[in-house]
Chains A and B, each alone.
Chain A
Amino acid sequence: MFGINQNCEIALPDTYYTLEDYQSNVPRWCPGCGDNSILTSVQRLCRDEQLPPEKTVFVSGIGCSSRFPHYMGTYGFHGLHGRALPIAQGVKIRRPDLDVFVNMGDGDCCSIGTAHWIHAVRYNMNLVALLHDNEIYGLTKMQVSPTSPQGLVTNTTPRGAFLKPIKPLSVTLGISNVSFVAQVAEWMPELMYDVLKMAYHHKGFSFVRVVQRCPHFTPHVFDNILSPDAALLLQHDDGLRSSDTMLKIYKSQEEHDPSNLNRARELAEREDCLPVGILYRNENVEVYDETRRRKRAVTHEMRKAALEKEFSKFLVEPVTGGNGHA
């Protein structure tokens, strides 16, 4: 972090941001909520990357997870239901200098905002999108969500959900221009941190599905995958290499090359286990905000001049000389 340069002057960054700099209000999520885990991992990422809070934006839709920007000490935009992605894209295209993160719930992304989701993947703009997937509508007190498992009893499906759930990873991997897809579980903080870091450094649209328990409404939905044996840890030199501790805990592992799209699709389809890690990564997909970036910088002076020009249209010039008057 600190280095001594050759002139023997201690080179210190102007400001060093601590974890507290990224914390805002005390989270009002239920105790035990997985969102807390995601929040902590994201804050750690911000601190370790030393992202200036004034240059970082969190955009969200509606839902429990979408309270995320309130708890970050950065800029944030609590948007409309399902509309987090277009807002984030708008922010990014006008201000490419900002780091933009998107937080969406499963209802936000996979239900009302599905169209935006699909096109956001296709546009491949330089964003990090987190899908907080607890497979239930929690904020509105337990209604079925598009990712709820078949047979889940909710307030809207008292006899159990009768449709098969949508598979966010399979959908994302099927859209053209997809460039980064990963999956983690909120109860693996170390892995989540590593994946988020990779997602942040990836150039393009990074889609991370975070499987997340709702301690209040779906405490047991994930029981079958909670045990370490149920997770399939994806490892590769081009993807992630987990620490020895992780490898000891999660014994079932697979060497998976993130550039292998077909294998990634197979993994996304698996129901017997939870593949966690980087499923797909391709740095060579064109990034929309770079290819469509305007060539000319818009300076303050140019804005001012344009405004002046507009204003001058309404300027009433005093008439000089007596002849003009009737």
Chain B
Amino acid sequence: MPDVETGLKLDQVSKNGPVEKVVEIDIARDLGQFFLTGNKKNVKTKLSSLSGLHSVYTANLANSAKRRIDFPLVLPDDLQQHVVSLSQFIDSIIENLEGEGEKVEEQKHYLYLVENTLRQSTLDKSAPFAKSWEEAVKQVATAARIDKSKKQELQSTLRVLFEKNALNGELLAFNPEIIQRLFSRIYSKQTAKRSAEFLQKSKDLLQQVRDVLITEFEKSDAAKTPDQLGGQLAADEFNLDAFSGLMGHIGDKGESQSRVKRLQKAETLLAEMIEKMEDGELTVCTDLASGLKQYESELKKFIGYFKARQIALLEVENQYQANLHDAFFEKFDLINVSLVEQALIWPAVIYLKQDELNAERIAEILRIADADIPIKVIIEITHPLEPGRSAYEAMQSPGAANRLLRTLLYGNQTYVGQVALSDVKGLKSAFKKGLQYKGPAFIGIFVGEKEKANERYTEVMGATHSRVSPVFTSNPGKGSTWAQKFCLKHNENYERDWTSATAQFSDENGAAKEVTEEFTILDFLTENTTFAGHCVVVDQAALTDSFVLGCRFMQKEGSVSGIPYVLKYDVKGKAYAVIVTQFLVNLAQKLLMNWRGLQELAGVNNSHVIAQMAIEEEKFAKALADKEAELESAYQARLDSALGAVADEIVGNIAAGLLGQATAPVSAPAATAPKPVAAATTPAAETKDVVETKPEAEAEEDEDMSFDEAYIDTPLCTSCNECVQRNKMIFAYDGNQQAYIKDASAGPFRDIVEAAEKCPVKIIHPGKPLNPGESGLDDLVKRASVFN
């Protein structure tokens, strides 16, 4: 238990006024010095111990064995069955439970107990599933508080349930050893799937080759010896010697012998290939050089196989022509192998540990990545920072393996994945995609360095969630742009700098308490004992305004002044502040920069976009302001001119009024006003007569026009042909096949009047006759007046 005796009392007392003389310690000054120098010796404030304290996030994980985490994994022997977690397996049993009511609930209860027992026993050490189950069942039954007979029954029920959902296999513990198991399983599954068709075809081919060889033997001299012939004929009276001699002359021998040789060679190689592919165990190399060497030799072998296959294909069709094909097969190489076949060539698989990554190896890896050799490299990352170095050195280059992976990201032809051991789904997907990708693949797996599975799980989850070792993949198979290939989405809240977590505590009195805190890189680093020297612990209540929470300090990148601290809690939920040194903050800052770099690649907070947006926004704001100013000035100009006009009019009116009662000058300004409405609204009594007579005069003018000229309301014409057929010279159709007066003078007025009378829609207006000499004009004008 942490000792809680701090500068708190002293400080509070001094605030309330110095009642009695005490030794005053300025806690901000004291711990500020520690923040800058990292020297613990000079700290005068009373400190607590760091042990037994947890961040909110890790407090949640503290007892993984009791939580339903993904581990242990169930690895079935049967290749066709999927790898599932133990929880999934138990859930599937529960789903299939028959019956209902109390009995099922009871079975469920015991199944969960078995799961728990299994997890505790196998989380650290892998074991055969059936055996572990049996043991767990026994343990559960023994512990159960029921009758002995019922215990027997319970055991047999649980046993039956297991057999029903039988899975022969193994329970995989949570440790790095499972990586290779999982990888080789996925590899064999993929290979089996991919090569199934090819294998079948090759087997058929092999059979054909063997058939051909048998017939070739029949043709050969060896088959024509008297013994051989006798074996087939079995006739005593037959002269086998003579028959043999006779048969010996038949057939073409020279060509046949070379053919047999070719076929025999092809047969051997094909058989070898089929055998190799069928039971192909993956060989994993632990160093680069041997991996590459093995790849070279495998490649050579496979090219040999494919060459033999091609030869066999030609031979069974009897299309092999020595003069043509010999030269070709002489130079047979990788470029002659089809893409389908190339995909079947085994990749070199290399398993590296982080501490083996010296400068030379890293250089070698970068060279391989550039050379497009389809090797698959798995790197086990034990520590997010450089291993085996002092904290100060580590700061210069945090995480050699993580750095290597980040560097590899920029090679466009390389699959790169960084995953966590705790994330089975991510692990499987990275292996699958990495193997499917045709080029080199590098998969880094953060496994942590703690011995106990429980602690290891906390460490791995913490490193992933705090962004110290984030999860990402870059799959060039999906496309060449970052948006297409790069994926950061499997990190929780990947748009944010870090995630937050909630934990529940219950204090001495049993009162529940819920706390939500951010889980930053700084929080993770303070969990690591390597950096214990960079932390001091005080009671949270002792802090003054001079201290800032680590996440605020980091987010603002130094613009927040104060001494950063992170919060830790003991099992009862009491909060303690951990003051860290500047060194640790800088380290965290550097790791945060790495994370933000990854975020930009994934399109989060893209600085180019943000900058461009700012420029565009500025442009837009400027355009808006310009437009506003323009409108304002235009409006002002209009307002000024309108005011001027009104002033002129008023002055004119006053002047006219002063000059006398003459009507003419009064109407003059009104008439010159821009709008005729102004004239109509002039209320002057003197001008009334003038205004009233005006519309009459206009109407008269209109009437004169309508009477004079003939016209048609063309848009209303129904194209009935009535008028056009009457006189084509006067009436015509326009582009819409509607009638108009083409030339009223082209025919007699009578035609126009009669057309108007006949028009079904009455839209022809004859107007006035153009030729005064036309006969019967009076009558026609009278008839026309109806339509005008």
* B702-731 Cβ-contact flags toward A at 8 Å (1 or 0): 000000000000011111111001100000
Contact B715 A32 (CB under 8 A): no
Contact, CB under 8 Å: A189 / B722: no
The answer, among A36, A43, A44, A249, for a CB contact under 8 Å with B718, is: A36
CA distance A213 to B761 in the complex (A): 11
Contact residues in B for A37 (Cβ distance below 8 Å): 718-720
Instruction: Judge whether B718 and A215 touch: CB under 8 Å.
Output: no
**CA distance in complex: A176, B144 (Å):** 73
| B760 contacts partner chain A, Cβ-Cβ < 8 Å | yes
Binary CB contact string for chain A from 17 to 53 against chain B (1 if under 8 A, 0 otherwise): 0010000000101011110110110011000000000
Q: Which residues of B contact A39 (CB under 8 A)?
A: 719
**A190 within 8 A of partner (CB):** yes
The reply to whether the CB of A284 lies closer than 8 angstroms to some CB of chain B is: no
User: Bound state CA distance, A249 and B737, in angstroms?
Assistant: 22
Known contacts A34-B720, A245-B715: A40-B738 contact under CB 8 Å: yes
Q: Is A32 in contact with B722, judged by CB distance below 8 angstroms? A: yes
> Nearest Cβ in chain A — how far from B763, in angstroms?
10
Q: Taking each of B718, B737, B738, B761, which has the highest tally of chain A beta carbons within 10 Å of its own beta carbon? A: B718
Chain A 245-277 residues near chain B, CB threshold 8 A = 245, 249
Chain B residue numbers with a CB within 8 Å of A217 are none
Report the separation of the CA atoms of residues A37 and B722 in the bound assembly, to the nearest whole angstrom.
11
A189-B718 contact in complex given A19-B736, A32-B760, A43-B737, C-beta closer than 8 Å: yes
Contact (Cβ within 8 A) A215 B760: yes
Interface membership of B189, Cβ < 8 A: no
Please state if A190 and B715 are interface contacts (CB–CB under 8 Å).
Answer: yes
CB distance from B734 to the nearest CB of A (A): 10
Asked if A32 and B738 make an inter-chain contact with CB atoms under 8 angstroms apart, the answer reads: no
Q: What distance in Å separates the Cβ of B764 from its nearest Cβ neighbour in chain A? A: 13
CB contact between A189 and one of B719, B721, B725 (< 8 Å): that residue: B719
B758 interface residue, CB < 8 Å from A? yes
Q: Across the interface, which residues of A come within 8 angstroms of B721, CB to CB?
A: 27, 29, 31-33, 36
* Closest chain B CB from A326 CB (angstroms): 41
B703 nearest CB across to chain A (Å): 20
Kindly state whether residue B735 has any CB partner on chain A within 8 Å: yes
Chain A hits for B715, CB < 8 A: 189-190, 245
Query: Nearest Cβ distance between residue B596 and chain A, in whole angstroms?
Result: 41
Q: Report the separation of the CA atoms of residues A19 and B737 in the bound assembly, to the nearest whole angstrom.
A: 8
Across-interface contacts of B722 in A (CB, < 8 A): 31-32
**Chain A nearest CB: distance from B448 CB in Å?**
59
A187 is an interface residue with CB less than 8 A from chain B:
yes
Interface size on A, residues (CB 8 A): 22
A108 at the interface (CB under 8 A from B): no
Residue-wise, chain B 741-772 has the 8 Å CB interface mask toward A (1 for contact) of 00000000000000000101100000000000
Within 8 Å CB of B737, what residues of A?
Answer: 19, 40, 43-44
Cβ-closest chain B residue relative to A186: B718
Question: Which residue of chain A lies nearest to B715 when distances are taken between CB atoms in the complex?
Answer: A190
Q: What separation, in Å, do the CA atoms of A27 and B735 have in the docked complex?
A: 17
CA distance A31 to B722 in the complex (A): 5
- Secondary structure of the B side of the interface? loop
Q: By the criterion CB–CB under 8 Å, are A31 and B720 in contact?
A: yes
Task: Specify the chain A residue showing the minimal Cβ separation from B723.
Answer: A31
Residues of the A chain whose Cβ atoms lie less than 8 Å from the Cβ of B719? 36-37, 39-40, 189
CA distance A27 to B718 in the complex (A): 14
- B718 surroundings in chain A (CB, below 8 A): 34, 36-37, 40, 186-187, 189
Residues of A within 8 A of B761 (CB): 187
Residues of B within 8 A of A213 (CB): 760
A137 to B734, CA, bound (A): 32
Give A184 Cβ to nearest chain B Cβ, in Å. 11
Residues of B within 8 A of A43 (CB): 737
Complex CA–CA separation, A188 to B717 (angstroms): 8
**Residues of B with C-beta under 8 A to A32:** 720-722, 758, 760
Contacts of A188 in B (CB 8 A): 716
By beta carbon, the residue of chain A nearest B718 is A37
Per the bound structure, the CA–CA distance linking A249 and B763 in Å amounts to 13
CA distance A249 to B761 in the complex (A): 13
Tell me the complex Cα distance, A43–B736, Å: 9
**A43 vs B737: C-alpha distance when bound (angstroms):** 9
Complex Cα–Cα for A31 and B727 (A): 12
Q: How far is the CA of A213 from the CA of B736 in the complex (A)?
A: 21
Which chain B residue lies CB-closest to A27?
B721
Point out the residues of chain B lying under 8 angstroms from A190, CB to CB: 715-716
Q: Which residues of A contact B720 (CB under 8 A)?
A: 31-34, 36-37, 215
Query: What residues on B are CB-neighbors of A186 within 8 Å?
Result: 718
* Alpha-carbon separation in the docked complex, A221 to B34 (Å): 111
Q: Which of A283-317 contact B (CB under 8 A)?
A: none
Give residues of chain A (210-230) contacting chain B, Cβ–Cβ below 8 Å.
Answer: 213, 215
A215 to B720, CA, bound (A): 10
Least distance between B184 CB and chain A CB atoms (Å): 48
Q: Which of B716, B721, B725, B758 has most A Cβ within 10 Å?
A: B721
Provide the residues of chain B in CB contact with A189, threshold 8 Å: 715-719, 738
Residue pairs across A and B with Cβ atoms less than 8 A apart, 13 shown, are A29-B721, A31-B726, A32-B720, A32-B721, A32-B722, A33-B721, A34-B718, A36-B720, A36-B721, A37-B718, A187-B718, A189-B715, A215-B760
- Chain A to chain B: the 5 pairs with minimum beta-carbon distance, closest first: A37-B718, A40-B719, A40-B737, A32-B722, A31-B722
